[in-house]
A and B are shown apart, each in its own frame.
Chain A
Amino acid sequence: MATVECRNIRKCYGELEVIRDFNLSIQDHEFVVFLGPSGCGKSTLLRMVAGLEDITGGDLLIGGARMNDRDPGDRGIAMVFQNYALYPHMTVRHNITFGLERTGVGKAEIERRLTPVVDALGLAIYLDRKPVELSGGQQQRVAIARAMIKTPEVFLFDEPLSNLDAKLRGHLRVEIARLHKTLKSTSIYVTHDQLEAMTLADRIVLMNQGRIEQMGTPEEIYSRPATLFAAGFIGTPNMNFMQFEVEGGALRDGLIHLPAPAGAQGQVTLGIRPGSVEVLPDAAEGSLPALVERDEFHGETRLVSLRCGTHSLMASVPAHMALQEGQELHIRLPEDKLHYFDTQTGQRLD
């Protein structure tokens, strides 16, 4: 078990700087997820922690010791790769035990450690097969077993579920969460899937263009996104954004009139999640008229596209609420569910 600390970490490919001044401190036992769109640098960062990628500048500490120049095998890490990366010429058993053999662990000890790992992942019947004879989900279980048996200080996961189909992904996600509960190893998990991030993470590190956009628990990031990017990236369906000019301390256009947050100037972007938009049958105090443009049935809910003055927005309503395209109705935007951002800087405004 160990802490992981990144101090002013930089990564350049030639002239191109892909990660600059990255600072992060991960606690013992913590499950941290690096979340972000592709190309944001999250995988590069993980590979630097693993030692598969050189660190251009800054310090990486695992368990308090500087790791920058150590080989991947000497960092006390284990890694699970996106495409499983099993050794195709070895049996499942050999795949799992190979790393231990290299570290000089005795045969009896390997056998003793193999059993619980294999049982935990349900691999007992596959031990003598070759990786090609297994499905993707089974292969990734073998890869997780290979990482687990080393009892590493830090687990690294590089998009481990993105090559699997949706159902299996959900299944294995639960399994990873369960394993983390029992093993309690410090874990870093890279994904672009916000659902994986929300369900697994103790803490999400939301990244964009090589920088940390926001860091916090899934609840914090969901309920108080720090930037426009965080607000737009987290949450399905996506948050609605509407642009306003601040005039005399208020946001207004012909229809909408809202108090502006303190100190807001120039352009302000107002955000509200589709689930927070209240749809009313009749006009009420503070309600706005809106027109139904499209109605999507999602099972439990319906996602309705609305036009409200010059703005268009989505509202998520219970599936039994029957709405027709072209129907006129009223909506209310509850003030405590509104998020204000400076349009220029993208920063949250309250």
Chain B
Amino acid sequence: MKPVTLILRGLLVLAALLVLLPLVWTLLNAFKTNADLLVSTPKLIFAPVWDNMDYVLGRRSVSRALMNSLVVCSYAVLLGAVLGVPAAYVIARIKNRATQEAQFFALSLRFLPPVAVAIPMMVIWLGLDMYDSRPALIITYMTITVSITIWLSVPAFERVPIAIEEAARVDRLGPYAVFFRIALPVAKLQVLSAIAFSFILVWNEFLLAMMLTTSRAKTLPIIASEMSQLGMSVPWGILNAAVVLLSLPPLILLALVGTGLNTAFSKKSSE
């Protein structure tokens, strides 16, 4: 191996460790007792305990927040996909002033600082007497899921060769059949990745949830953050266990659609 290659490999390993070590550390700490945690030299070898996990999973607030997160995110993502994917197809296929503006509008939703959305939303939901409810959070989150689904699905549909759709029209397919039978299956992987990414974004969302919920509709990130305020001393083990629990669904999703997600972001053509 050439020395340059060796150095570059070393750099890669270093970069990977920079990303992975804190995660591994969090994972380990989730299974430590406070005695093992609060030592000046981090322990790698220790007797793992389930106490932290048990505590987190055993709390009613956590299980309710988990349900809230699952329901709110699933609906927001589902509705975002139902609205966003066909919209992306139209934007990709019909190029005119209106669709260009629509595409930019979808992106511009993400330019707004969340606080600028949260305060008016809070007023609206309070006025409608829907504050601190799942539907309110679902509809608010749809602004995120719809815009991300559109933004990431447009390039996916643009990569479907137009000639394939023309061949389908010659094969007697109408516009809806062309979308469902041809364009959607061909762009499937990247569209799914776009949807998965929108799920991860709303799953991790903190600020809007904090401002729009007080008790009933609290999501997992809110509960996880509350764990840090449990007492005089920070309960590190419990906090770490909550973080691990919170990270699992996005990680599983990433593993499932990881490759597709990568192509959706880099503009490489997919075969």
Chain A: residues with CB nearer than 8 A to chain B? 50-52, 71-74, 77-79, 81-89, 98-99, 102-103, 132, 146
Contacts and interface: CB of A to CB of B under 8 A. Distances in A.
Interface in B142-190: 161, 163-164, 166-174, 177, 182, 185-186, 188
Given A85-B167, A89-B185, A73 B271 contact: no
27 contacts: A51-B169, A51-B170, A52-B166, A52-B170, A71-B174, A72-B166, A72-B170, A73-B169, A73-B170, A73-B172, A73-B173, A74-B172, A77-B170, A79-B166, A79-B167, A82-B163, A83-B161, A85-B164, A86-B167, A87-B186, A88-B164, A88-B186, A99-B170, A99-B172, A102-B177, A103-B172, A146-B167
A99 B170 CA distance: 8
A145 to B, nearest CB: 13
Interface of B is mostly: helix
Given A81-B163, A132-B271, A87 B170 contact: no
Contact of B170 (A79, A84, A88, A89): A79
Nearest to A82: B163
Contact of B163 (A77, A85, A146): A85
Q: Which of B169, B171, B182, B271 has the most CB of A within 10 A?
A: B171
Contacts of A99: 170-172
A133 to B, nearest CB: 11
Interface of B: 161, 163-164, 166-174, 177, 182, 185-186, 188, 271
Given A52-B166, A132-B271, A85 B171 contact: no
Nearest to B167: A85
Contacts of B164: 85-88
A310 B198 CA distance: 74
A72 B170 CA distance: 5
A131 to B, nearest CB: 10
Contacts of A132: 271
Contact of B169 (A52, A82, A84, A89): A52
B170 A78 contact: yes
A346 to B, nearest CB: 35
Contacts of B172: 71, 73-74, 99, 102-103
Nearest to B165: A85
